[in-house]
Chain A
Amino acid sequence: MRPLVSDATRLRFARNGNLQFGLAMLSLLVLASVAGSALVPFDPLDIDFGQALQPPGWPHLFGTDDLGRDVLARVVASASVDMKVVSICVLLPFLIGSTIGLVSGYFGGWIDLIIMRFVDVLWAFPFYVLVISIVGALGPGTGNIYLAFSMVVWISFARIVRGEVLLARRLEYTQAVSVLGYSHARIMLRHVLPNVITPAIVFMMADVVLTILGVTSLGFLGLGIQPPTPEWGVMIAEGRNFIQDGWWISLFPGLAIVFVGITFSLIGDGLDDFLRPKP
């Protein structure tokens, strides 16, 4: 019987510090998102004017904000909110973009021409301008954030997957299964897709970093998740008014965003090495 994980794979993982470190950070993040609110003894929405603007210390490790709410509780509660939104904002365009890229590259011809020209047009717009104007026009709310990110980000995945498909289509194994008379769907899903999806997965990790910045920027601008739901971008924006007498209100959610950024950069780099071993 073949072992589930080959020795070579195990060795590649053991030598991959980026991936290990990134995954360790990710597990912390997942822990905070799932169990965080149980670990902090304060309610992120509890207003207490008597405790307003307390600096970091005991019992408020990250201090309190202008309404006396515990900053640590809010940072932790934001983790689950932000990570959920970010995951969906990354997965949706990944699915849409990869599918379109696969179809476009596989069939080629006029289908490819139309799709790729459309991608070019969307590509011409700056990312933030497009996201902000879509959310601005549709109004704040998570549904519209998902929609905006899906509409804007899928083009990157489509381009990456299409490029890989163009390459794979010329390779012998594709042509062989084609000669065998398999259906297009079967060839695409069973034979082409597994060989082209790796770069898209690696890019997905980089996209998480872009998306966390995008989602929190929307929150900062008042277009994202609406108060009082704790959200890192909103917290930074609200703390801005108190930067002189309560720097901690903005600092800790800022650090949390940096933490997410580093986590997924490391995982992205690590995955790149892990999934595409260089000779």
Chain B
Amino acid sequence: MAKHESVSAIIAKCGLAGLLMSGSVCATASAATLRLGVAGDALTVDPIASSDNPSIWTELLIYDQLVRPSKDGTTLVPGIAESWTVAPDGKEFRFKLRADAKFSDGQPVTAADVSFSLKRAAGEKSEWGRFFRPITSYEIIDDHTIAMKLDKPFTPMLNNLAMFSASILPSKLVEAQGAAFFEHPIGSGPFVLKNWSRGQSQDFVKNAFYWEKGKPSIDGARIEIVPEDNSRVLKLKAGELDAIVGIPFNQADTLKSDPNINVTVATVFRVDMVQLNTTKKPFNDSRVRQALNYAVDKNALVKGVLRGNGTVANSAMPVMAYHNTDLKPYPLDLVKAKALLAEAGLPNGFKTTMLVAAGDVTQRQAATVIQADLKKIGVEVELQTIEGSSQFGTTKSGNYEMSLSYATSDTIDPDQSVGFLVVNPERANAYHTQWKNERLNELYAQERTTPDGELRSKMFKEIEVLAHDGAPFIFLYNPSSPYASRKNITGFKVMPTSNYDLTDVVIK
């Protein structure tokens, strides 16, 4: 029955389209397949081995998690768990799985799969182990109920369970197939990866067993990798793609004038900054770092480079829960900047270098503006373009002075960003700046055991102030993310966590 319907729908749509297009196009491309253009291809679909956005976004289509962020990114909503309870002491989480949740091969999702997947995520091989190691034991109560025990309260736990790295995998298949499982992954998410031509495209069909009734409403999706920004935009204009993400700010304006295209600007949890290597002179002096912050005209960057699609950053954190809105960004003040440099014994400025990711037009523009701004206080910056993929490794090794970079949050709780960006020692040692603040580290430890509420909010706000004053970065801006779809597409949405949601997409 369902088959009949979809076939007749295709015929109906092709009848009309056939008048305009050649018949062969109609025969191969089903009318209910969304064609989405993205800039980069996934490296892997193993949730515990990914940290690049394309991999994460692909995984979020294939796999489901116990809980997930709501579409506006303000709270958590049920995923594959229909309900959960947290013990009053915060040391036990109990999840009730949906009885009708199934993997795309028709097998039910069980408590054993959950415990297997989360143990794997906390394991030695996982890049995200720290996020799940607070869980010390699992108790499978029945097939659809699981309890997790913690030695001490850990407030970010529930949010961490909403991350891609906490995806629920079919335990039997992964155990039997090992690494080969990820060649043909099976998940309980809305889509199934049918075909993957690396570097070119990914073909998805909808998961017929997906628990959310009537969703996804499209039959499938084809994700095309189009690295060139211009080509991606032109393909959308020509109707070769239905939707695209990652539109350069200058092109977003031009696209808005196209009557066939809807342009939306997504608010995402992202902050752009210049990392300052505080182990190197003169960046070891906080006055120098503050001087740099006073010298860069952030408002001009937001206006000229982002074309108004963003806000000036006041600290190192994305604008999200518990954000300190009272904290003022460093204003543009060249006199103060020069005075601070003189105080630090550098009245004539100094020479330095800045890493910039190659091929990204926004980063290139921002770098040029920052370079010109810093020259006004005598700081001569030599730009060094570097492959985006090797930039992280270079800053990690400490072999840099300044580096233009950004960070996005994969969760709706600021704990992840704080741990990554300003805590040292932690995952990235204050995002490779090696900056250290004992009070901030203390707050970080406290925040993680404090239940959500006013007290925890205060801690995050103080953390932001400490980061602002310590200035391990030149804080730049919180950019929004323009994306576009053709007018016949509804329901395509980029989430605050930067991934895209396809379950509500309808093609007219």
Q: Is the CB of B251 within 8 A of A67?
A: no
Stretch at the interface among A44-52, A93-101, A251-259: A44-52
Is B390 in the interface zone, CB < 8 Å from A?
no
Please determine whether B250 and A242 come into contact, CB atoms closer than 8 angstroms: yes
Within 8 A of A (CB), among B346-383: 358-359, 361, 364-365, 367-369, 371-372, 382-383
Mark contacts of A177-193 with chain B using CB atoms, 8 A cut-off: 1 yes-contact digit, 0 otherwise.
00000000000000000
Contacts of A240 in B (CB 8 A): 230
Known: A241-B230, A241-B248. 15 other contacts (CB 8 A): A47-B368, A49-B303, A53-B250, A140-B384, A222-B385, A226-B383, A227-B367, A227-B383, A238-B364, A240-B230, A241-B250, A243-B230, A244-B233, A244-B251, A245-B254
**Is B372 within 8 A of A222, CB to CB?**
no
Query: For residue B303, which residue of chain A has the nearest CB?
Result: A49
How many of B's residues come within 8 Å of A, CB to CB? 25
Instruction: Enumerate 20 A-B pairs (CB-CB under 8 Å) in ascending A order.
Output: A47-B304, A47-B369, A52-B304, A67-B369, A222-B359, A222-B385, A226-B382, A226-B383, A226-B385, A227-B364, A227-B367, A227-B368, A227-B385, A238-B364, A240-B230, A241-B230, A241-B248, A243-B230, A244-B251, A245-B251
CA distance A49 to B365 in the complex (A): 11
Binding site for A on B (CB under 8 A): 229-230, 233-234, 248, 250-251, 254, 300, 303-304, 358-359, 361, 364-365, 367-369, 371-372, 382-385
On whether A244 and B368 interact (CB within 8 A), knowing A49-B304, A66-B250, the answer reads: no
Nearest CB on B from A139, distance (A): 8
CA distance A67 to B303 in the complex (A): 11
Least CB distance from B248 to A in Å reads: 6
Question: Which B-chain residue is minimally distant from A227 (CB atoms)?
Answer: B383
- Listed residue (A67, A222, A241) with the most chain B CB atoms within 10 angstroms of its CB: A241
Q: Decide: B372 and A244 in contact? CB cutoff 8 A.
A: no
Question: Residue of A at shortest CB range from B386?
Answer: A222
Contacting pair B300 A49 (CB below 8 A): yes
Contact assessment for A226 and B384 in the assembled complex, using a CB-CB cutoff below 8 Å: yes
Give the residues in chain A near B300, CB-CB below 8 Å. Answer: 49
Q: Identify which of residues 12-67 in chain A touch chain B, using a CB-to-CB cut-off of 8 Å.
A: 45, 47, 49, 52-53, 66-67
- Complex Cα distance, B303 from A45, in Å, reads 19
Q: Are A67 and B365 in contact (CB under 8 A)?
A: yes
Quick one: which of A53, A66, A222, A244 contacts B230, CB cutoff 8 A?
A: A244
Inter-chain CB contacts under 8 Å: number: 54
The CA-CA distance from A49 to B361 in the complex, in Å, is 15
A-side contacts of B361, CB under 8 Å: 66, 238, 241
Q: Complex formed: what's the CA distance from A53 to B304 in Å? A: 11
CA distance A66 to B369 in the complex (A): 11
Q: Is A228 an interface residue (CB 8 A)?
A: yes
Chain B residue at smallest Cβ distance from A245: B254
Contacts of B364 on A, CB cut-off 8 Å? 227, 238
6 tightest A-B CB contacts, nearest first: A49-B304, A241-B361, A222-B385, A222-B358, A47-B372, A228-B368
Closest to A50 in B: B304
A228-B383 contact, Cβ under 8 Å, with A241-B229, A241-B230, A245-B254: yes
Assembly CA distance A108 to B501 (angstroms): 73
* A49-B303, A222-B358, A241-B248 known; A228 vs B230 contact (CB < 8 Å): no
B385 touches A67 (CB 8 A): no
Cα-based distance from A278 to B99 in the complex (angstroms): 94
CB-defined contacts of A238 to chain B, threshold 8 Å: 361, 364
Query: Would you give the shortest CB distance from B320 to chain A, in whole angstroms?
Result: 29
A96 to B372, CA, bound (A): 40
* B385 & A66 in contact (Cβ 8 Å cutoff): no
Q: Mark A232-252, 1 if CB is under 8 A from B, else 0.
A: 000000101111110000000
B380 nearest CB across to chain A (Å): 11
Shortest C-beta distance, B364 to chain A (Å), equals: 7
Given contacts A52-B304, A244-B230, whether A228 and B372 have CB atoms under 8 Å apart is: yes
State how many angstroms separate the Cβ of A192 from the closest Cβ of chain B: 46
Residues of chain A contacted by B230 (CB below 8 angstroms): 240-241, 243-244
CB of A63, distance to nearest CB on chain B (Å): 14
- Which residues of the partner chain A approach B229 to less than 8 Å between Cβ atoms? 241
Neighbouring A residues of B358 by C-beta, 8 Å: 222
Q: How far, in Å, is B87 (CB) from chain A's closest CB?
A: 54
The A51-87 residues at the B interface (CB cut-off 8 A) are 52-53, 66-68
CA distance A52 to B301 in the complex (A): 13
The docked-state distance in angstroms from the alpha carbon of A68 to that of B307 is: 13
Say whether, besides A47-B369, A47-B372, A244 and B304 are in contact (CB < 8 Å): no
**Complex: how many Å from CA A68 to CA B305?**
11
**Chain A neighbourhood of B304, CB < 8 A:** 47, 49, 52, 67-68
User: Whole-angstrom distance between the alpha carbons of A238 and B363 in the complex?
Assistant: 12
B233 CB contacts on chain A under 8 angstroms? 244
Tell me the minimal C-beta distance from A250 to chain B in angstroms.
11
- CA distance in complex: A75, B199 (Å): 36
